[in-house]
Structure 1
Amino acid sequence: MATTILSSAKSAVKNWWISLLIGIIYIIAGIWVFQTPLASYVSLSILFSAFIFVSGIFQIFFSISNRKNMQSWGWYLAGGILDLIIGLLLMTHPLLTMTILPLYVGFWLVFQGIMAIGLSFQIKSADVPNWGWLLFLGILTLVFSFLVLSNPIFAGLSIVYMTAMALITAGIFRIILAFGLKKMKNSFD
């Protein structure tokens, strides 16, 4: 198992900057949602449609570019395809999207939180310091996702603020992960 994680880590560090870019996009999206609370529910459906779609493209690119070196590249590909499909669904059905946006967002954030927790344990196995912060942020993303899912009918400002916090938390996770991968890259070189 350690060999699998080590080979996955070696190939993941090749494109460490993709995680950094995704993290920055998450944080920008979270800040934007905080700054536009009154109009953001409508804007949120548009933002998430484009954001999830673009995130899916980046994750698919990451998985395909690492397919020869990473044994678990299929999970990254599956996550990217899921994001791409959800993004397309959201973009093609804007009225329906606003009605069920909390469920889309909640389940998408559950998936992101679970993926973050799994990645934190992979990072721990590779003896990367500060992996605990990654675990904490993954759990925090899960907590926010459950708060969003616990009351999907209530579509007021609370969904907007919880979504913003979840995006910022997921963004910080991705940035910390990127710099951890970069450190790993330097140790492999």
Structure 2
Amino acid sequence: MPDFYNTYWWIFLLRGIFALILGILAIGWPGATFATLIVFFGAYLFIGGLFAIVGAIAARKTNENWSIFLFSGLLGVILGFLTFYNPFATGAALIYLVAFGAMVAGLFELIIAIRLRKVITGEGWYITGGLLTIFFGLLLVANPVAAAVTLTWVFGIYAVITGIMLILLSFRLRSSRR
């Protein structure tokens, strides 16, 4: 019985190539609008979801976890479609989600730093880090346009790294198939 990952190594390759191209476009297109990036993100979700669905259907007889791939693929297709339907709402939601996540993470860093006062010295740096993380979240909310530009660059770097990792993974899977 063939192993799913080794047999369908090319799915990882295609996803990696698409992510790499998307990341290069996001980094190299500084004049592009945030809405364009969101549409690219929606395309990535949609196409990645389609690949995951194809892989899940192909693996349903050989992989007991095929339903996880199917669910992931369906979710990607739905989110991609919703992004195409209203990219501005998706962009705004993304900015506020990242801002809220930063503020919550900063708050947890503060709580941990205060608790660490009994265990270590120099916890002031961790407190400073928590305050900076909260401040970052507040800056994103206060200036969503700058946040959109910043998130564009961060997403581009993320997509390039992810694309390279998926491409390398696909080659390793392909070579281990022999």
Secondary structure of the corresponding residue to residue 89 of structure 1: helix
CA distance in 2, matches of 1:164, 1:103: 19
Q: In the alignment, does 2:164 pair up with 1:172? A: yes
What corresponds to 1:159 in structure 2? 151
Q: Report the alpha carbon displacement of residue 178 of structure 1 after superposing the two structures with TM.
A: 0.6
TM-score normalised by the chain length of structure 2: 0.69
Give 2:13's match in structure 1, choosing from 20, 33, 53: 20
Give 2:85's match in structure 1, choosing from 92, 110, 128: 92
Cα shift readout 1:54-97 (whole Å, capped 9, x = no counterpart): 11001110111111001111221121111111101111122312
Paired residue total: 137
Q: In the alignment, does 2:60 pair up with 1:67? A: yes
**For residues 19 and 71 of structure 1, do their structure 2 counterparts lie closer, same or farther at Cα, with a shift above 3 Å needed?**
same
Kept in 1: contact 2:35–2:88 (CA 8 A): no
**For residues 103 and 82 of structure 1, do their structure 2 counterparts lie closer, same or farther at Cα, with a shift above 3 Å needed?**
farther
Structure 1: runs of 5 or more not aligned: 1-6, 107-146
- AA partner of residue 88 (structure 1): F
TM-score normalised by the chain length of structure 1: 0.65
Alignment RMSD: 2.4
Secondary structure of the corresponding residue to residue 69 of structure 1: coil
- AA partner of residue 150 (structure 2): S
Which structure would you say has the larger Rg? 2
* Residue identity (%): 29
CA distance in 1, matches of 2:97, 2:69: 20
CA distance in 2, matches of 1:14, 1:168: 25
Kept in 2: contact 1:10–1:184 (CA 8 A): no
CA distance in 1, matches of 2:42, 2:97: 10
Give 2:173's match in structure 1, choosing from 169, 181, 185: 181
**For residues 84 and 98 of structure 1, do their structure 2 counterparts lie closer, same or farther at Cα, with a shift above 3 Å needed?**
same
Q: Report the alpha carbon displacement of residue 22 of structure 1 after superposing the two structures with TM.
A: 0.4
